[in-house]
């Protein structure tokens, strides 16, 4: 038996961590999301006022207004200047990126369901969701500690629940509210707009949904950095991760 001061032997295992379709759709979605944030911010600057209901303009009371200058001189913001109007390219980039993101998301969902990705990697394990363990498990993972080597091969409970919420609730909501702002969609499927109470309500919900997605991105990047930026990015590029297991 080795003495207490002896170093524990280690074994390094390298194997597939992310399937090819997960890696490809991840990076396409990442590029689209950055384009959507950039273009969406510019679109908001053209009218940084938000309303509730079907209609809203500078002559109606705003639900709230962002404390930023506008790129339109017809929008009162309290600033003595207007920003350059970049609304043309930003709307084009926003719509194009949105459709690519939607198509990529559909491919991810279809392949994820067909290949068992959601069941294997995202659905919480039975032990994690037992009533007696759920609060403790969530609080343990919410401490944002550096994960151990074994966690390079799976997601913890908070990650799984967050990814499921983003993929199946938040992202579809942002897409739906984005479509609801379209006059064409409103004329063909008025119920898609009416469920939100009007196009201006859909725009407001779309804004808050986008903010939540941006916050998710920031936390996601912070966790990747905490867990080992190079290793995690390499795993998402090559599909392979190295984990070191220690044996007493």
Q: Domain boundaries in the chain?
A: 18-239
CATH code for the part of the protein at 18-239: 1.20.950.20
Count of other CB atoms within 10 angstroms of residue 140: 13
Tokens, residue 102: 């939607």
List C-alpha distances in Å: 240 to 21, 71, 170: 14, 46, 29
Radius of gyration of the chain (CA): 23
Mean pLDDT of the chain: 84
**Which of 69-83, 133-147, 158-172, 173-187 bottoms out in mean pLDDT, i.e. has the lowest?**
133-147
pLDDT digits (tens, 9 = 90+) for 73-131: 999 998 989 999 988 999 999 999 999 999 999 999 999 999 999 988 888 865 555 55
List C-alpha distances in Å: 121 to 103, 113, 196, 220, 225: 22, 11, 33, 17, 21
- Contacts of residue 29, defined as CB under 8 A and 6 or more positions apart, other chains included, come to 101, 104, 105, 108
Separation of alpha carbons 69 and 94, rounded Å: 21
């Amino acid at each position: 038996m080795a003495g207490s001061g002896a170093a524990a032997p280690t074994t390094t295992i390298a194997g597939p961590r992310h399937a090819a379709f997960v890696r490809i759709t991840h990076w396409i979605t990442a590029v689209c999301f950055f384009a959507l944030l950039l273009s969406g911010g510019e679109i908001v600057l053209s009218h940084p006022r938000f309303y509730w209901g079907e209609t809203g303009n500078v002559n109606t009371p705003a639900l709230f207004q962002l404390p930023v200058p506008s790129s339109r001189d017809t929008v009162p913001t309290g600033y003595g200047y207007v920003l350059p109007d970049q609304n043309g390219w930003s709307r084009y980039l926003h719509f194009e990126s949105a459709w690519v993101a939607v198509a990529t998301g559909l491919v991810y969902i279809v392949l994820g369901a067909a290949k068992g990705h959601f069941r294997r990697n995202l659905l919480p394990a039975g032990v994690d969701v037992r009533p007696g363990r759920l609060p403790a498990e969530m609080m343990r993972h919410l401490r944002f500690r550096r994960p151990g080597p074994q966690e390079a091969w799976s997601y913890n409970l908070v990650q799984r629940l967050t990814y499921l919420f983003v993929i199946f609730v938040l992202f579809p909501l942002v897409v739906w509210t984005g479509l609801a702002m379209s006059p064409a969609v409103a004329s063909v499927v008025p119920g898609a707009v009416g469920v939100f109470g009007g196009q201006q309500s859909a725009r407001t919900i779309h804004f808050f949904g986008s903010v939540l997605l941006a916050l998710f991105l920031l936390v996601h990047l912070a966790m990747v950095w905490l867990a080992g930026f190079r290793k995690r990015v390499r795993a998402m590029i090559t599909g392979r991760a190295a984990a070191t297991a220690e044996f007493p």
